[in-house]
Amino acid sequence: FSQQEETRRKSSWLLIGFIGFFAWLGFGGDVALMLSTADATNGYQHRVPVIGIGITLVAAGVAWSAWRNGDKQILWSTRAMELINAVTPEQQRLANVVDEMSIASGLPRPKLWIVPDDDPNAFATGRDPAHASIAVTEGLLTRLDRDELQAVVAHEMAHVARYDTRLMTLVAAMVGAIALLSDGLGRFLWHSGRSGNTVARSMGGVAARRSGGRNAGVAVVLVVVWVLTLLIAPLVSRLVAMAISRKREFLADATAEQYTRNPGALASALAKLDDASAPTHRIGRAATHLCIVDPGDQRVQRLRGALGNLMASHPPMAERIA
């Protein structure tokens, strides 16, 4: 329980870091513009923080859209089909297991979805337990026995119970928004610079030329740092998202044991999932962090140390099984 509390606390700080990143991308650019144009007498003077306000509004809109419709978009992208009435023994077994884990966790029964893919995998999505969905691949239903399937469902129910599905959907939206904003602002500066736009010239060179201005040095430093941040923003945001995902996987594994009281079943299920080296083609990169195992190349997930912590979206499977 102490480890779970630590994981939740660290994840909260990482999310705060995401929000701070947005604030710096927006209002940092405004501050740099204000300082670099402060001494302008006849030219453009930046007064209103339009960049910060614009980015904040875009980020809020993306987050709201992800909170309301993110689960539907993810399920649609995987071509998942809702399981309403079970027609095969495997589907009926899944429905029974979900009923059991719903009782064990004290949560409402989530909607069930089947992803048409032979690779074994599963994920949960939804903004809260009342609107949750659990999706499993056809390969998962055929490869796992009943206890192993119960453990995987318990893992996904743990994500629902801890509101990981909401957190990770919002994080995915933030990653996409940062990439979009970084690309958009980068194109704006590039095209503005080529066309001789006053704002772009202010950010790129006015402060540097006014060596006598008291704000010149600070403005130049801020502009350089802001542009560098703009360039590395997509990479940094992606790394932060994967860090949050890795911490949440350990927490979900531990919570699944509380629901099933059968640690061997989850260990066995994870081992089978690890042995399936083929990628889950139906699940794209946008849902990587939601899955119980990375749907992409499993070789990245087997990396350990600093490189694995940077590149992998999930902890090494050997550590999770241990």
Catalytic residue numbers read 156
Phi (first) and psi of residue 160, to 5 degrees? -65, -45
Rounded to the nearest 10 degrees, the angle between the axes of helix 164-195 and helix 2-23 is: 20
Question: What is each CA distance from 266 to 102, 249, 293, in whole angstroms?
Answer: 17, 13, 13
Q: What does DSSP assign to residue 110?
A: P
CA–CA gap between residue 38 and residue 156 (Å, rounded): 54
Does residue 38 contact residue 264 with C-beta atoms inside 8 Å?
Answer: no
Ordered alpha helix ranges (H), 24-124: 29-36, 50-77, 89-105
Quote the CA–CA distance of 117 and 255 in Å, as a whole number.
Answer: 27
Structure tokens at 258: 């509380």
